Amino acid sequence: MVKITLLYAAVLAAMSIVLSARAGFFRGKVRVSILYGDPHNAELAQRVRVHQNFLEYVPLLLILMGGIELSGGNPLFLYIVGTVLILARIAHATGLKHDNIEHPLRAVGAGTTALLMLACIVYALILTFT
């Protein structure tokens, strides 16, 4: 059973639906079917990029979490990773701005996600080879 990972997968899947809806509804509002319109709609591009970035990192982390859980990894580690991942993705989604690459929440979200990925990679390798 992977109940811990399943909990975070459910919460993160709900977050993905929200991010997708934000992009999709806005796409309908500005009547742009694909890409970002002509002329380029920066707000649409931003909403799409937030969702894309989420989809680039979250599934890999959930796969690692599930593998760690199935391999007998520490439940506390998984709860911490899952909770911090949710907070990091909220920070990143809030901080990714088309007109401000230096927004602090973007860096916090991206950096924290990368650190979580690295921690899970190392832990997964330790579990694999011990």
Note the pLDDT tens digit of each residue in 28-40: 999 888 777 777 8
Task: Please state, in angstroms and rounded to a whole number, the distance separating the CA atoms of residues 7 and 12.
Answer: 9
Q: Could you say which DSSP state residue 100 is in?
A: B
Task: Please state, in angstroms and rounded to a whole number, the distance separating the CA atoms of residues 31 and 44.
Answer: 11
Per-residue pLDDT reduced to its tens digit, 33-77: 877 777 788 999 999 999 999 999 999 999 999 999 999 999 999
* Owning domain of residue 21: 3-129
CATH code, domain carrying 120:
1.20.120.550
CA dihedral 15, 21, 26, 27 (to 10 degrees): 120
Query: Would you say 110 and 58 are in contact if contact means Cβ atoms under 8 Å apart?
Result: no
Total tally of structural domains belonging to the chain: 1
pTM: 0.94
Task: Please state, in angstroms and rounded to a whole number, the distance separating the CA atoms of residues 94 and 104.
Answer: 10
CA dihedral (14, 66, 106, 47) positive or negative: negative
